[in-house]
Structures are given as C-alpha cells and as structure tokens.
Chains A and B, each alone.
Chain A
Amino acid sequence: MNLLGVQLRKMYQRKDIKVAYLLFLAVPLVVAFLIKSESNIITIGDSIFSGIGYVSVVLGLLKGLFVFYILIFLFTTSLISGEIDSMNDAVYYCKVEKRSSIITSKINALVIMSFLLIMDICFSASLGWMFFLRNSKFGSMNYFSTSLEENQFMIMMIVFSFIEIVVLMLISANMSLFLSQGKALMGSFLIIIIFKLIANIDGVQKFVPTYIGNLTSVMELSGKKFWNGVLEEGLIFLAYIIVMVIMLINKYKRMDYVR
C-alpha cells in the first residue's frame, strides 16, 4: 500500500499525465461542439446520439486514432523500463523487502491511472453531450438509449475498452523488462500494428485484444447470446491478464537491474 501510494504520487506529478487528462477532458467537448456547429470538420450524417452513445463514439475515436494507446505505452515504458534504466528501481529495492511489491505497485498505479482516464473521457463526453448535443438535432433527450440491448452493449464496450487498455499496458510492461525505454515504446507500437493487422483474419481475430476491446463480434447478438459472447471474450481477456501478470512478476523478481 505504501509503494502504491509512492507510485501514484510519482505519476500524478508528471506533466505529461496531467496533459493527458486535460486532453481527454477537452477532446469530447471539442468534438461535441464541432458536431453541433456543423462546421464540416466533423460530419456524422443523420446520427442521433444518446449520452452513452456519444461516450462510446468518443472512446472509439480516441482508440482509433491510437491516442489512447500512445499515452498508455508512454506512461508504462517510462514507469517501468525508464526507472530500471535510471537505476531508480535499484534504489527502491534497497528500501523494500520484496521486489515483486515494486512491480505490482507500478501495475496497480497504471491500472488506476487507466481507469481514471476512461472515467475522464466518460465524464467529459457526457458533459459535451449535455451542453452541445442534447438540445441539438444530433442528440436525443435521454442519456440512455430506449433500447436496453443498445445500452448493455455501450456499457460493456466501455468496460471492455478499459480491460483492453489494461491488457495492452501489461504487454508493454513485459516488453519494458527486456528492452530499454525507447525500444520498449517502439516494440509496443509494433505489437499494436500487428494486432490491427491480424484482427482482419477470421478465426484469429477473436483472440486479438484490440478486436475484443471493441466487442465487434457480439455487436449483432442479443439476449443470452450477447452475454455468452461477452463472457467468452471476457475469459480470453482474463487469460491474457493472468499470463501477462505471472510473466511480469516472475521476470521482474529474477532480473538484474542492468541493461
């Protein structure tokens, strides 16, 4: 708990993390304003957004533009690889008994930070919808859709987007143990590109985190089939998380803080 507090205090004093929060606060508001103003910078056709619908669209947009991935990789590689490179972890290891507590505190801090980033987007997109879209021709008056199934899908998509970010963060964290910060960052981007490419291959795609995170395969399903699909994809994510965490802790416990 002490170490988690240390990692959070370290992270939230970083300028780039503060900028990320401000960016994710600003983007949904700006997008909503641009839609309402019909400035032709963003055109959405005849779409009408509920509050939750606008949240999922913004989330999809930020993921599609790689913004979310870039920031998460940047924070993960600097917190893990960067601090191994700079011998900062070695200094902390002289103050704590268990090495595993250092890496778990970092991972927990990154998970909390990712969760708060998602919440930041949800909050800002909701505000954007309320101020700019709700009373325009692009918005419905209700925050939730009238269709229960649509609401379920939107909410699960937000949840899965968060889990997707956690899985990708864990992949990047594992890379950070083997590679210096710059290389780990490049490697993480490469993995995302590979994921995006193999997400087009039938059969393989349902194991690709970036594909699962969008819940594309269950989009058309409803009722029990929808929940079965969500459970199946959730289990694949869980398997990813367990494997990644075990690999991460085992490697970190045994590694030399020497590149």
Chain B
Amino acid sequence: MSEYEKKVLEICNVSKKYGDFNALKDISFCINQGDIVGLLGHNGAGKSTLIKCVMGAIQSYTGDISYKGNNILTYREPFVKDVGILLEPAFVEYLSGEENLKLLAISMGKKYNQGKINELLEMVSLKKASKKKVSDYSFGMRQRLGLAQALLNDPKLLILDEPTVGLDPVGTELMKTTLKNMSQKGVAIMFSSHELQAVEDICNRIVVIQNGELIYDDSMDKLNSKEICIVTDNKPEDILCKFGEDVTVENCYVTIKDVKIIDEVISCIKENGLMIKDISTKNNMLFQFFKGGTSK
C-alpha cells in the first residue's frame, strides 16, 4: 500500500477564529489507516472546534481538510460514505433510539437495513431500550447510541468527541474494545478524551492541542516510557549519585527514569542496608501533556 493510500485524513494549516479569539492556529497533522489517534487538550483547547471543522459543521475556517486526497467540503461523496462521527449525542428527543437510527439510515439514501440496526443496538447494549424515547435515555445511553449512529455506514474513518464521557466502566470497556476491533480492521480513528487511561490503553498516536495550537504529535510508544518509583524505609542519601540523572531521590522516594537500570538500583539500595517498602510504575507523561506543561 502506498503512502498516499495509507493517508486517510489530512488536516493542513487549519485555523479558525471566533471574532478576535483564535480557536485553532495553523493545525496540521494526518491520520493513517489503522491509526487510533488520541486528541488531547484542556477544555476550550480547540479539540471540539477541530472535530466540527472536520465534520463540516464549521465551514468558515482557513486551511484545508481532505479525505483520501479530496477536500471534504467540495468533494463530499466519499467522505460521507466512509466517515462516522460522534460529536455530541444529538438525537430527536421524542423518537426512540431505534427510530433515530432508522431515520439517519434513510437519510443516507439507502433502504435501511433493520438487521444492521439491530446488530448495532445489540453491540452498544441498547437492544432492550431501543423502543424507549431518547428523552428517557441517560447520558451514557445517548453516548452509546451516538456510537451506533457513527457506525451506521461501516466507516473507514471514525471521529469521536469525548466518547467515554458519561459511560460507566462497562460502557467504557465496550467503547475501547469496539475501537480496538475497528482499528484492527483498518479503520482510522481519532478521538478526543479526558480519560487518560482510555487514551493510553488504545491509542497508538497522540495529538495534543493547547490554546488552539498543536504542541505534540507523535507515537504513544514514546510517551509510554514508564518511570519506576521505589519507596525505601530511610532516605538513601548519596548512595545513588552514581546513576546520575537517571535516578532522582526525594526523601524516601526514588524515581528511576531508565527501566534498564532497575536491578542495579535495587541491589545498590539493599547493599547499603535499606529496606524496600514499595515498588510501582508511573506514567505521568500523558498527564504532563494533558496539563499542557510540555512544549513540542
């Protein structure tokens, strides 16, 4: 497969202003087939605005967004056919979940397939509630219906805005499993979330937006270099100086940045008569990025 074929969504120099406020500043990145891209940032960082630009809900942006090489606003047919988007779980309140899905399926210009709708409702665990009005749904149920709506056209690109919000642990797990399965089938996925654990569990790439600017775009592996934290019974003093910057000591807490030297550090601690009370791993890099404390 060529690079061009792999590239599914390309966002080029996209900027959006609301009056004098720059909601997005020159954002550029692309999503490849099979990618699961986590879009991170504070509330108001510009994530939802970017997703609204991608779905075409916002058209007054500068720059270019293309799907498989075609601008999404001027050549919309392949985009509409292949893309599933969950922005906010927006449905017709007085209709049932099933009726909402039917109407969306009809609007796609196809004869709707009841089997497909049943399958999706089953998948998002809403089969029993499918005849209930959406106004009686909880937020989590709406989110799950939103996921079903996004999957209605068997998308090749899936874009989700905070899909885990309002979901219980079972719902979150269901969402993660669904996204992983879809990715394995070659579907490109981008989703924004505040659930760092979900991002860490399923994403292979992270894009961080801060104040409308893209500050990080790289693989998840680079962020996954975990630190090891050891708690000792007494302060190790200077015995760990020889490890240089790879080991930091703060009172009884020893942080090892390079996992390869862990055995050496443990031996050193024991040899000096100290007791190890606890060993744990921590990955605070993602949190640092989320806080926007690290620049590109």
Interface residues of A (CB under 8 A from B): 2-3, 5-6, 9-10, 13-15, 86-88, 90-99, 254-258
Contact = CB atoms under 8 A, between A and B. Distances in A.
Contacts, number: 79
A94 B94 contact: no
Contact of B59 (A15, A92, A96, A256): A256
Interface string B85-102: 101101110110001000
Contact of A2 (B52, B76, B95, B107): B107
Contact of B104 (A90, A95, A99, A257): A95
Given A9-B103, A256-B60, A95 B108 contact: yes
B103 A10 contact: yes
B107 A10 contact: no
A93 B94 contact: no
B259 interface: no
Most buried by B among A92, A94, A254, A257: A94
A90 B55 contact: yes
B90 A95 contact: no
A256 B58 contact: yes
Contacts of A257: 52, 57-58
B90 A87 contact: yes
Most buried by A among B57, B107, B149: B107
- Tell me the dominant secondary structure on chain B's binding face: loop
A92 B149 CA distance: 10
B107 A96 contact: yes
Contact of A92 (B58, B107, B153): B107
B109 interface: yes
B80 interface: yes
B241 interface: no
Given A13-B95, A95-B107, A258 B58 contact: yes
Interface in B227-286: none
Contacts of B109: 2, 96
B103 A91 contact: no
B77 interface: yes
Given A2-B107, A13-B94, A258 B52 contact: yes
A45 B103 CA distance: 52
Given A10-B103, A92-B104, A15 B94 contact: yes
B94 A88 contact: no
B106 A90 contact: no
B55 A94 contact: yes
9 contacts: A15-B94, A88-B90, A90-B56, A90-B57, A90-B90, A93-B56, A95-B107, A99-B56, A257-B52
A90 B91 contact: no
A19 to B, nearest CB: 13
Nearest to B54: A94
Contacts of B153: 95
Given A13-B94, A14-B94, 19 more contacts: A5-B106, A10-B95, A15-B94, A86-B90, A87-B90, A90-B87, A91-B90, A91-B104, A91-B149, A93-B56, A94-B84, A95-B107, A96-B80, A96-B109, A97-B77, A97-B80, A98-B76, A256-B60, A257-B52
Nearest to A90: B57
A96 B153 CA distance: 12
A252 to B, nearest CB: 11
Most buried by B among A88, A90, A255: A90
B245 to A, nearest CB: 47
A13 B102 CA distance: 14
Contact of A6 (B52, B106, B152): B106
A9 B95 CA distance: 10
A88 to B, nearest CB: 5
A257 B149 CA distance: 19
B83 interface: yes
Most buried by B among A5, A86, A256: A256
Interface string B33-64: 00000000000000000001001111110000
Interface in B92-130: 92, 94-95, 99, 103-104, 106-109
A23 B181 CA distance: 53
A94 B153 CA distance: 11
Contacts of A88: 90-92
B103 A6 contact: yes
B193 to A, nearest CB: 19
